[in-house]
Amino acid sequence: MINSILKISMLLAFAIVGNSLATDQLGFEDRTQRRTLSNLPDDMLLEIIKLDPSIAPNLTKVSNRFYGLRANPDIPLVCVISNKESFKNYINNFLPPNRTQWFHLKIKISLEEQEYTEIAEVNANLRTLNLEDNNLGENGVVTLATPLRFLTNLEDFYLDGNNFGERGMRLLAPILETFTSLKTLGLDDNSIGEGGMQAFAPGLKLLTNLRALNLGKNNLGEGGMQALATPLRFLTNLRTLELGNNNFGKEGMRLLAPALSHLTNLRTLGLDSNNFGERGMQAFAPALSHLTNLRTLDLGKNSIGKEGMRLLAPALSHLTNLRTLGLDSNNFGERGMRLLAPILETFTSLEDLYLGSNNLGEGGMQALATPLRFLTNLEDLYLDGNNLGEGGMQALATPLRFLKNLQALNLWHNPIGEKGMSLFAPALSHLTNLRTLGLDDNSLGEGGMQSLAHARRFLPNLRVLNEGF
């Protein structure tokens, strides 16, 4: 749900190889496609960002403009390899040896070992290498092993989504431990398992400059947490740690929690979908109280229940800087909500709140209504699958008037009905920044749809209505 790793999206404004042009051309993304360039001085962008392929009659002209941009040595040069023919043409004809260095490289196609080696040899100063979602597998890691040894200056290395498994991790481990300058390491979704984590753990403790470590969706299990716990104590500079979807359960949390308490610089912690339950919360809550710098915390899908919330709520009270809180699918019900509500009231900087599938009912919504009115910075509110009914919608209507910054509101599967919608719809008119409204599976009926149609006239920014989001 929450993805706390920052890739190189801001840097990709500079040079895209074969992304939108014919295979023998060099193209540049339009400036309007970038989310933000606020951190880049305008004189670094020049006209190259605005270049339209239709006004570039040949590669030479484009490359000349490109070299002109490189006249400033402080420009962080980015290359995205997404087409093999374009890549070969670019390497062989338009980049003489003294101009082949990139600082940030994203490869979106399969290359041979010789091609990887050629890139690595002439880019020993490479800072960012992004190989995510290439389905490299174990064989791809074998291909990469030699070229990677040239890149000892890497600071950001993304290998997410390559499914190289335990054996691939065993091949990578001795190489990764030499990357002592690494600040970001993305290893999500690689099925490395307990054995892969055990192989990586001894070298991981050497990467003391790490700021972000992604190990989600790797089936690490209890044994993986046991292996990870020791090196984590050395990674005190970590700002982001993603461990979601590893199914390590209560025993895994018992092993992990003491190490987490040392990571006092953490800003983002992802622990969703690990099924550690109330017993795991007994170990985690004391550690959480030390992580006072957290901005993002994802604990969704862990079955903590109301007794787990009894343990969690006091620990949350220390996290007054939270911007994002994920507690969906924990089944803590009305009683759990009544324990959480007084704590939520203090989270005045909160921007994203995920409370879906917790069986809150009308009573739980009534308990939540009081703190909601103080969360005036909220942008995303997820209350799907909570059986709110008419009474819950009536309770939600009052605080909703204060949430003028709200952009996404998810109310799927809450049996609102016609009457519930008629009670709730007038409050919607205050949400003039709302972009997404989820109302699927609520039996609104003709009367409810009429109430909604009237409210929609006041929602000029609404783009998605009654659809999945």
Amino acid (one-letter) located at 304? I
User: By three-state DSSP, how is residue 379 classified?
Assistant: coil
Other Cβ atoms closer than 10 A to 190: 28
**Tens of pLDDT along 237-285?**
999 999 999 999 999 999 999 999 999 999 999 999 999 999 999 999 9
How far apart are the C-alpha atoms of 463 and 441, rounded to whole Å?
19
**Tens of pLDDT along 186-225?**
999 999 999 999 999 999 999 999 999 999 999 999 999 9
Helix segments in 345-415, DSSP class H: 361-372, 389-400
Give the CATH architecture of domain 332-469: Alpha-Beta Horseshoe (3.80)
User: By three-state DSSP, how is residue 344 classified?
Assistant: helix
pLDDT computed for residue 120 by the predictor: 82
How far apart are the C-alpha atoms of 392 and 417, rounded to whole Å?
11
How far apart are the C-alpha atoms of 123 and 21, rounded to whole Å?
25
pTM summary value: 0.84
Can you point out the beta strands (E) in 283-366?
296-298, 324-326, 352-354
Pair 286, 316: CB distance under 8 Å: no
**Tens of pLDDT along 20-34?**
222 222 222 322 222
pLDDT computed for residue 400 by the predictor: 95
User: CA Rg, the chain, in Å?
Assistant: 25
pLDDT computed for residue 294 by the predictor: 98
How far apart are the C-alpha atoms of 195 and 173, rounded to whole Å?
12
Residues (pLDDT < 70) of the chain are 1-83, 85-104, 466-469
pLDDT computed for residue 126 by the predictor: 84
User: By three-state DSSP, how is residue 105 classified?
Assistant: strand
